[in-house]
């Protein structure tokens, strides 16, 4: 009886116009490893089930949450990749409703499960943040009345993706999709004695939702700044409010200078309750 023979390893150098990137080297190595395992198994007369060194498995994975997963192979796991993903719509209790939506494929991390006696692993999915950033500023001084919290009206913006500012609503930076955003700002008050200079980011103009709050005593060119992370729903907007209570009964200017006043908002993560139905590829050897 003839012995099974391997046809030879797949090499990048043998591929015409092979694209750059480590992913191709990894793919070729995985194929070569699978070939070696297949030939080895056939030579040993193992069953088709025992010959399997890779398999797909579907899991519901919440963003950033590590869960245990049984080993679907008869050999130790060497790698886990996400092939595709559907977002799961959740009800008010956090349970899937049965409807799905488009969700980008997550980055998968895994490690051996120290509690498993059969080669199980711990798997975690991290979904990409929505795409969007906006930085607004004003090129003119802004007058802030004494004792009145005032939302700043901006007159210029640099923006992209799903966060935007428009001239018609000059105080608002609008987030078109749900996610977690990072906010940061810087303001400089004109010189005036007494009181305090304050500022905070507001969600949907609600005084109950102060973020990145900062306060400093009045005086010579008092500056305030802050940063924070805020969870937003689709269509939520953010504003920046300023407040001053100087000794004199008068308004006080926020001064326009290089890069101030400014307010920056960008997505940094998807909603914390994001759950995807992920098709995973396990390979081993």
Comparing 83 with 5, the larger pLDDT belongs to 83
Q: State whether the Cα torsion 139-145-146-150 is positive or negative.
A: negative
Residue 133 CA: distances (Å) to CA of 160, 182, 183, 199, 274: 6, 9, 10, 21, 20
Q: Is the pLDDT of residue 225 over 80?
A: yes
Averaged over 31-55, what is the pLDDT? 69
Q: Which of 282, 283, 277 is nearest to 106 (CA)?
A: 277
Q: What is the pLDDT of residue 36?
A: 76
Give the H or E element holding residue 40.
Answer: helix 22-43
Task: From 14, 30, 51, give the residue that closes a domain.
Answer: 51
Pair (47, 84) in one structural domain: no
Q: Has residue 1 got a pLDDT over 50?
A: no
**140 lies in the same domain as 264:** yes
- Look up the domain containing 63 and give its range: 56-128+272-285
Angle subtended at Cα 118 by Cα 116 and Cα 120, rounded to the nearest 5 degrees: 55
For the chain, first and last CA: distance in Å? 27
Question: Of 12, 27, 51, which marks where a domain is finished?
Answer: 51
Q: 104 and 95 in contact (C-beta within 8 Å)?
A: no
Q: How far apart (Å, rounded) are the C-alpha atoms in residues 185 and 200?
A: 9
| pLDDT > 90: percent of the chain | 74
Q: Let me know whether 75 and 197 are in one domain.
A: no
Same domain for 68 and 44: no
Structural domains in the chain (count): 3
Instruction: Indicate if 118 and 138 belong to the same structural domain.
Output: no
Q: What is the pLDDT of residue 149?
A: 96
Query: Each residue of 80-109: b (16+ CB within 10 Å) or e?
Result: bbbeebbbbebeeeeeeeeeeeebebbebe
pLDDT in tens, 228-274: 999 999 999 999 999 999 999 999 999 998 778 999 999 999 999 99
Question: What is d(CA 63, CA 260) in angstroms, rounded to the nearest whole number?
Answer: 36
pLDDT at 6 over 90: no
Question: Is a pLDDT exceeding 80 seen at residue 211?
Answer: yes
Cβ atoms 68, 115 nearer than 8 A = yes
Check whether residue 44 and residue 80 sit in a common domain.
no
Cβ(67)–Cβ(123) below 8 Å: yes
Average pLDDT over residues 103-108: 95
Look up the pTM and report it. Answer: 0.77
Is the per-residue pLDDT at 48 higher than 70? Answer: no
């Amino acid at each position: 009886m003839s012995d099974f023979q391997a046809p030879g390893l797949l090499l990048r150098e043998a591929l015409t116009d092979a694209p750059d990137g480590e992913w191709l080297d990894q793919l070729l190595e995985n194929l070569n490893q699978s070939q070696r395992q297949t030939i080895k198994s056939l030579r040993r007369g193992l069953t088709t089930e025992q010959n399997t060194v890779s398999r797909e498995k579907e899991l519901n994975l919440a963003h950033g949450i590590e869960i245990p997963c049984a080993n679907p192979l008869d050999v130790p796991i060497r790698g886990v990749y996400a092939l595709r993903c559907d977002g799961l719509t959740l009800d008010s209790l956090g349970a899937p409703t049965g409807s799905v939506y488009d969700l980008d494929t997550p980055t998968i991390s895994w490690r051996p499960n120290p509690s498993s006696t059969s080669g199980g692993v711990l798997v975690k999915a991290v979904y990409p943040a929505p795409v969007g950033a906006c930085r607004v500023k004003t090129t003119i001084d802004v007058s802030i009345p004494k004792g009145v919290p005032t939302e700043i009206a901006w007159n210029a913006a640099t923006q992209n993706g799903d966060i935007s500012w428009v001239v018609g609503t000059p105080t608002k930076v609008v987030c078109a999709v749900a996610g977690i955003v990072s906010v940061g700002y810087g303001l400089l008050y004109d010189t005036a004695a007494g009181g305090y200079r304050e500022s905070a980011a507001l969600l949907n103009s609600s005084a109950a939702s102060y973020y990145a709050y900062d306060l400093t005593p009045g005086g010579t060119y008092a500056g305030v700044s802050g940063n924070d992370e805020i969870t937003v729903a689709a269509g939520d907007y953010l504003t920046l409010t300023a407040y001053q209570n100087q000794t004199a009964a008068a308004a006080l200017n926020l001064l326009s200078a290089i890069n101030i006043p400014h307010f920056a908002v960008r997505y940094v993560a998807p909603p914390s309750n994001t759950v995807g139905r992920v098709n995973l590829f396990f390979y081993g050897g």
